[in-house]
């Protein structure tokens, strides 16, 4: 089977409408074609935008008289996939037109500012919203935020309590400082109802304390996975150091429960695992489980660092951690100085589609002396 970007089956695949046989056939084509991979990603993004816009539309209520007249006509057949493809194309055109109008408006405002020597009335440029307490001239940029350094995580006692299993000798402690990618979306996450969802945080994340000299042990390390031929990208993107979340910086694995595994090369003392699945939109990944072991097959000496699978659908035990929205900050998991060589991360689809994604995974620790 050979398909191209205009094939209706590609849209149906991107939206999860194919039966099992067709899905596998189309997925095989997508895996071997970067162009089809980009097309699938664009369809999903536009479908998400369209769905959000349709939620905002008010449906007009028909009068009893009109309903009576309509009752004389045969029931209309559902629009089906053809209507959805037309709607997607229309939505894409509207988005493009809106972008052009916004750009022209911004250029016009800047031209007037240049002629008058400043922004008229201290108003922010077109498309920028200023907080009531914000000083003119400090409006946020519409472009992705620059890299920043922040201390993140949950507090860890300093020093370790005496007798803590596996804890090293008392060491000088410091904040874990991460270099974060730019934010790729703004505003409040879309209204997604997911059980066990973590409440929205107010203010910066608490600090995670780690020993001085802790570093990212996973950088450029070997990665294996349950899906050896990913749909998009390759497994080495998981530890390549690029966490920006743009095209070419993440790997997409197939549907259902999937995992990636990082080999640190030798047993190490691990203090934190930080994971970015896909932060181009506010989505929630399901059955996120992070485990460590000294056994590459994860049969013996397996220890769980994080588990938000509340119904054991992944078969790895019932977890007590909470589900969370993806963001450019990543998810910081306290590893509590566990000693291990291998780190394995599971997920089972997300609230936007059934696929699994990894942009970057960092494992912060130190070698064992």
From the list 154, 194, 231, 200, the residue with the least C-alpha distance to 327 is 200
Instruction: Kindly indicate the confidence band of residue 273, based on its pLDDT and cuts at 50, 70 and 90.
Output: very high
**Can you give the pLDDT at residue 177?**
95
CATH for the stretch 148-367:
2.60.120.260
pLDDT at residue 39 in the model:
84
**φ, ψ of residue 14 in degrees (nearest 5):** -60, -30
Mean pLDDT for the stretch of residues 92-104: 57
Whether 323 contacts 198, CB under 8 Å:
yes
Q: Where are the domains of the chain?
A: 1-54+85-121, 148-367
Give the residue with greater pLDDT, 93 vs 246. Answer: 246
Report the 10 Å Cβ neighbour count for 66.
10
Nearest CA among 19, 20, 27 for reference residue 1:
27
CB 50 within 8 A of CB 93: no
Has residue 127 got a pLDDT over 60?
no
79 backbone φψ class: left, alpha, beta (φ>0; ψ -120 to 50): alpha
* Cis before 159 (ω within 30): yes
* Arithmetic mean of pLDDT, 299-307: 97
Q: 243: buried, middle or exposed (CB in 10 Å: 19+, 13-18, 0-12)?
A: buried
For the cut 60, the answer to whether the pLDDT of residue 329 exceeds it is: yes
Q: Convert the pLDDT of each residue in 3-27 to its tens digit.
A: 887 888 888 887 878 887 888 888 8
Per the confidence metrics, is the pTM higher than 0.75?
no
């Amino acid at each position: 089977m050979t398909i191209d970007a205009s094939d209706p089956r590609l849209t149906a695949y991107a939206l999860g409408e194919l039966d099992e046989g067709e899905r596998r056939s189309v997925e095989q084509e997508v895996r071997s074609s970067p162009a089809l991979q980009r097309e699938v990603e664009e369809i999903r993004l536009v479908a998400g935008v369209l769905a959000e816009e349709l939620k905002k539309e008010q449906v007009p209520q028909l009068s009893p008289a009109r309903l009576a007249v309509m009752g004389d006509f045969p029931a209309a057949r559902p629009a089906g996939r053809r209507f959805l493809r037309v709607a997607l194309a229309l939505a894409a055109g509207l988005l493009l037109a809106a972008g052009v109008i916004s750009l022209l408006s911004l250029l016009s405002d800047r031209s007037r500012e240049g002629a008058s020597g400043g922004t008229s009335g201290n108003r922010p440029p077109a498309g920028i919203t200023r907080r009531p307490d914000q000083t003119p001239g400090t409006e946020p940029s519409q472009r992705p935020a620059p890299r920043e350094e922040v201390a993140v995580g949950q507090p860890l006692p300093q020093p370790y309590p005496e007798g803590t299993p596996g804890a090293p000798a008392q060491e000088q402690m410091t904040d874990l400082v991460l270099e974060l990618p730019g934010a790729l979306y703004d505003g409040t996450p879309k209204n997604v109802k997911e059980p066990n969802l973590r409440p929205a945080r107010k203010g910066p994340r608490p600090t995670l304390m780690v020993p001085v000299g802790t570093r990212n042990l996973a950088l450029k390390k070997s990665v294996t996975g349950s899906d050896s031929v990913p749909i998009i990208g390759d497994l080495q993107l998981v530890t390549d150091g690029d966490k920006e979340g743009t095209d070419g910086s993440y790997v997409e694995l197939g549907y259902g429960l999937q995992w990636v595994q990082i080999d640190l090369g030798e047993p190490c003392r691990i203090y934190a695992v930080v994971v970015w699945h896909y932060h181009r939109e506010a989505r929630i990944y399901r059955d996120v489980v992070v485990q460590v072991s000294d056994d590459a097959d994860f049969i013996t000496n397996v220890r769980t660092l994080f588990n938000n699978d509340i119904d054991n659908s992944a078969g790895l035990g019932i977890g007590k951690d909470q589900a969370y929205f993806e963001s450019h900050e990543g998810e910081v998991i306290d590893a509590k100085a566990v000693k291990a060589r291998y780190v394995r991360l599971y997920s089972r689809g997300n609230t936007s589609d059934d696929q699994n994604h990894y942009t970057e995974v960092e494992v912060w620790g130190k070698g064992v002396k």
